Chains A and B, each alone.
Chain A
Amino acid sequence: MIPLSWYVLVSAALFCIGLFGVLARRNAVAILMAVELMLNAVNVNLVAFWRYGEPQAMAGQVFALIVFTVAAAEAAVGLALFIAIYRSRDTVAVEEIDLMKG
């Protein structure tokens, strides 16, 4: 079998790619895509530890399914927010959305 650490390293790399995207992109939708990448990285980790730890117990898979649910809810609400902001401010560039800046 493939060593567990390989999966963990792949997941770490995917997480860091997503982290870079969240910090560096200008477009809010692109930031949301990077967040999805980070959630996926976490899920790979959870499933890998489930597989190599205790595959009889379903805790790891249940955890991953809950992450799926939260990701779907987050995408729906986040995209609705961006569409509402686009309608009122005509942009989704995060540096131009500074309504709450003091």
Chain B
Amino acid sequence: MTYAVFILFTLMALCGGVLVVTQRNLVRAATALVLSLFGVAGLYVLLEAGFLAAVQVLVYIGAIAILIIFAIMLTRRMVQGDESGLNRQWGWALVSAVVMFALFCYVVVKAWPLALGAVSAPAVPADSTEALGLALLDWEQYVLPFEIASVLLLSAMVGAVVIAREKHDS
């Protein structure tokens, strides 16, 4: 049963991913991206990281995917036209991606078979979301990365507004 769900979410993530990089129509590619992100959220649920799955749906699908669709609409002219969505070097890109995947497979299957073959793991504490929140705000643990992340978000927000603003010469 778990395996069936795993395969379903994997297929969602990977098929969505393939559509994202091959679809010529960008709106369809963005829709496929949403499918792929849902698949990844399902994998988080299988890994018992419920909070991350919720954040994935909220932030990735609710914010980033919608932002990307907005950008596609705003830069509309590229979407149409008969030319391919891929550039001239796509053959080499395919070769390098396949070689990279072969290397990853070699590492997983040959190099560390014992460490990666784990089929059992310690149980996740029942209140893992609470533990995550406490860890993020604990002075001894992750409060500094947490605060830096909020500063990063603020500066990215200001930067995005400044860059995208229309300049009126007066």
The 4 closest A-B pairs by CB, nearest first: A21-B21, A23-B93, A73-B156, A12-B104
| Contact present for A23 and B89 (CB under 8 Å) | yes
Name B residues whose Cβ lies closer than 8 Å to a Cβ of A.
2-3, 6, 10, 13-14, 17-18, 20-21, 26, 29-30, 33, 36-37, 40, 43-44, 46-49, 51-52, 55-56, 59-60, 63-64, 67-68, 70-72, 74-75, 77-78, 83-87, 89-90, 92-94, 96-98, 100-101, 104-105, 108-109, 113, 116-125, 128, 131-132, 135-136, 141-142, 145, 149, 152-153, 155-157, 159-161, 163-164, 166
A50 to B160, CA, bound (A): 33
A18 to B13, CA, bound (A): 12
| Contact present for B96 and A29 (CB under 8 Å) | no
Instruction: Give, as a whole number of angstroms, the nearest-CB distance from A31 to chain B.
Output: 10
Instruction: Specify which chain B residues have a CB less than 8 angstroms from the CB of A80 in the assembled complex.
Output: 159-161, 163-164
* CB interface residues, A 38-92, toward B, < 8 Å: 40, 43-44, 47-48, 50-56, 58, 61-62, 64-66, 68-77, 79-84, 86-87, 90-92
Q: Is the interface of B mostly helix, strand, loop or mixed?
A: helix
Among A30, A37, A54, A87, the one with the most B-chain Cβ atoms within 10 Å of its Cβ is: A30
| Contact present for A77 and B163 (CB under 8 Å) | yes
**Contact with B163, one of A44, A47, A62, A84 (Cβ below 8 angstroms):** A84
